[in-house]
Amino acid sequence: MYGIREEEYRRLSAGGRYARLRLRLAMYIAYPLKVFWASITARRDTILLVSSNTFYAPLLAWASSRIAKPRIVHWLLDLYPDALEVAGKIRRGGFRSRVVGMIQKASNRNCTYVVYLGEFLRIHGERRWGPARRSAAIDVAADEMNFHQPKMECNSQLTLHYGGQLGHMHDVDSLSACVRAVTNMMLAEVKFDLRISGVHSRLIVESLSMEGVQVSGPIPSEEWRKLIKDFQVGLVSLSPGGATVCLPSKTYAMMAGGLAIIAVCPFWSDLGRLVIDTDSGWVINNSPFSRASELENGNYAVNCEMRRNIADVAAEFSDLVRKLVSNRSMLEVKRHNAIRAARVTFGSEALRRRWARVLHEVSN
């Protein structure tokens, strides 16, 4: 069950005050009401797969289905209250944080199954809010059949593309510093194409108004899939705090489109592990820690949000781009690896099998 399509979500989130009000009404009133009605009218043999960015929707589904008692699968897209804390909307450990945390804890305890986007998110979420009855980590990925054959030949100019949200979970400061570091050195060899939306998109427009950088709003998915045929590198970013909340699904789509990935994110994050394990690109670590086990040394919550010096992040990024300009064969290897991972490791058939195992467990 879902409340709004991706295209509509991006359009409204990038709009004015009225558009954002419509989005909040859809997310926090219309969608929960839809979940409530479906749950209360469901038969006993039904499995309800409830996605959550409306964080209380899965618990609402469970509470409103106590008569027939269908099975509830919580598809946990973003962790709450962690998302609100990282965004600075509420104080960690404060009253509102504890209330939202109680909802998350109750969801874990009562839903039949919880499906996370990554293994670190699963461990982090259950560490903080208690173990789920049963849980798994399944990638979101992208339908590889929707993507056009990319142009694999080496063009004279290297294009780095960022597409999607730039919200509170993304490392907008490091990303901006990285782009400036490159454009200050090599305008002729490199260009940036940024198609962005979200609360930080205006900051990027203001800070990156320079030659070699094109910034515009998002475009429909079909147009976007055609556009990236001419690009070679996909940029993704997550702040250290954001890495405890989500995993950008656009990463899988860029891999399916034949882009090597440069991820500005913690090594220990699910995004970092995704890029490293598939050898589909490079990770520019924006955390002072490299492994998840290192977060345990001292205050875990503080360590999760600690940032590496931005100047060091930007310098490492610009050094990498300089290497890619002079060694295109290294780039092409990563692009082929990205396509293979998108079609095999995260392809439709692989994900079908993983979801089938979960649903088989739920139904028995």
Query: Domain boundaries in the chain?
Result: 6-137, 144-345
* Angle, CA of 13, 17 and 23, to the nearest 5°: 45
pTM above threshold 0.85: yes
The structure tokens 């002729």 sit at: 188
**3-class SS of residue 71:** strand
pLDDT of residue 100: 95
Q: What's the pLDDT tens digit per position in 126-151?
A: 999 999 999 999 998 888 888 877 77
- Residue labelled with tokens 């995993």: 247
pLDDT of residue 153: 67
User: What is the model's pLDDT at position 20?
Assistant: 84
Strands laid side by side in the 135-137 sheet:
47-52, 71-76, 113-116, 135-137
CATH of domain 144-345: 3.40.50.2000
Whole-number Å distance between alpha carbons of 260 and 252: 11
Alpha-carbon span 143 to 198, nearest angstrom: 24
pLDDT at 97: 95
The pLDDT assigned to 143 comes to 83
In this prediction, residue 181 carries a pLDDT of: 93
In which order are the strands placed within the sheet that holds 233-237? 213-216, 190-197, 158-165, 233-237, 260-264, 281-284
Contact call for residues 13 and 329 (beta carbons, < 8 A) = no
Ranges of the chain whose pLDDT falls below 50: none
Task: Answer whether 119's CB lies under 8 Å from 103's CB.
Answer: no
Spatial CA neighbour of 282 closest among 242, 329, 235: 235
Give pLDDT, residue 154.
63
